[in-house]
Amino acid sequence: MTHKTPRVAIQGIRASFHEEAAFKFFGEDIQTIECNSFKQTFEALKNGEADYVVMAIENSIAGSLLPNYSLLLNYNFPVVGEVYLPIQLHLMALPGVAFEDIKVAMSHPIAIRQCVDFLDEYPQIKVIESNDTAACAKRIREEQLTDTVAIANTLAAKLYGLEILERRIESNKKNFTRFLILTTHDNAGKVEANKASLCFQVSNEVGSLAKVLNILAEEGVNMSKIQSMPVLGKRNEYNFYVDVEWTEQKQYDASLRQILKYTHNFNILGEYKRYEENL
């Protein structure tokens, strides 16, 4: 049963990018379920402690989050949506702290990597890695750290009462993370889909993957992403994760019917509406 206010499991804490993505998809009237790991978010969904999971799957700079593909397959919860979030990173400190006072900067390793050009200009600032951008902001507030800054989003600055000293310190201003929205089969409902996430294996013969890709092309179905992952314990066997998009349902239906002949362990991970925004 779905609660009036959706309970959304995220990896990390409130005001993290995962919560920002959840707000973007559901609006701000949600109950955020904070989890320490991506696996824990799926467990929360499985145990009825959450109605949805919001999970990062790829970043335009750091690439795919490979372990999360395995979670998709292992738990087999349907993907019901996606959201793209621009990753904007700011330097924040307790109110009244001057830039000259800063000795330490804390953030998630990926966020730190995305701000390396800025940080290189200030070698006197020691950089410390943490498991969550928002948690760094929270810690500065709780421990009243007057010589420390966090690298996080505006949501974190607002929630934990920090002042932004420098805005947009990320090196690449066109940095997006794609998040998937998952739920239980009971909760999924029918949507007018124009995008799907598929997973399958093909036989280890010359051209077997090419056959599948040709079918998509012939039916006018656009493949927007392909990712391969070795099948655990099987030599030369791979799971292919493929995202496809279409304008007419019949194109998709026709391609699926044919693809089934050339694949095995075929899974539809989800059919949903493509995320549209002027990125």
Q: Residue 279's pLDDT is what?
A: 46
| Domain membership flag for residue 277 | no
Nearest CA to 224 among 194, 202, 201, 248? Answer: 194
Query: Do 55 and 156 sit in the same domain of this protein?
Result: no
pTM over 0.85: yes
Query: Do 16 and 78 sit in the same domain of this protein?
Result: yes
- Structurally, the chain folds into a number of domains equal to 3
Residue-number span of the structural domain to which 99 is assigned: 90-166
What pLDDT digit, counting tens, does each position of 172-212 carry?
A: 999 999 999 999 999 998 889 999 999 999 988 899 999 99
Query: Do 95 and 62 sit in the same domain of this protein?
Result: no
| Domain membership flag for residue 146 | yes
CA 72 to chain CA mean position, Å: 12
Query: Do 13 and 64 sit in the same domain of this protein?
Result: yes
Which residue did the predictor score with more confidence, 226 or 1? 226
Helices marked H in the chain: 17-26, 38-46, 66-75, 109-114, 116-120, 133-143, 154-159, 185-188, 208-218, 249-259
Query: Do 70 and 180 sit in the same domain of this protein?
Result: yes
Question: Is it the case that residue 1 has pLDDT exceeding 80?
Answer: no
Question: Is it the case that residue 102 has pLDDT exceeding 50?
Answer: yes
| Domain membership flag for residue 183 | yes
Query: Do 155 and 206 sit in the same domain of this protein?
Result: no
| Domain membership flag for residue 1 | no
Q: For residue 258, what is the domain's CATH number?
A: 3.30.70.260
| Domain membership flag for residue 279 | no
Query: Do 110 and 149 sit in the same domain of this protein?
Result: yes
| Domain membership flag for residue 2 | no
Q: Residue 190's pLDDT is what?
A: 85
Residue 152: DSSP 8-state: E
Nearest CA to 56 among 89, 16, 7, 107? Answer: 16
Query: Do 148 and 160 sit in the same domain of this protein?
Result: yes
| Domain membership flag for residue 230 | yes
Q: For residue 158, what is the domain's CATH number?
A: 3.40.190.10
What is the chain's mean pLDDT, rounded? 95
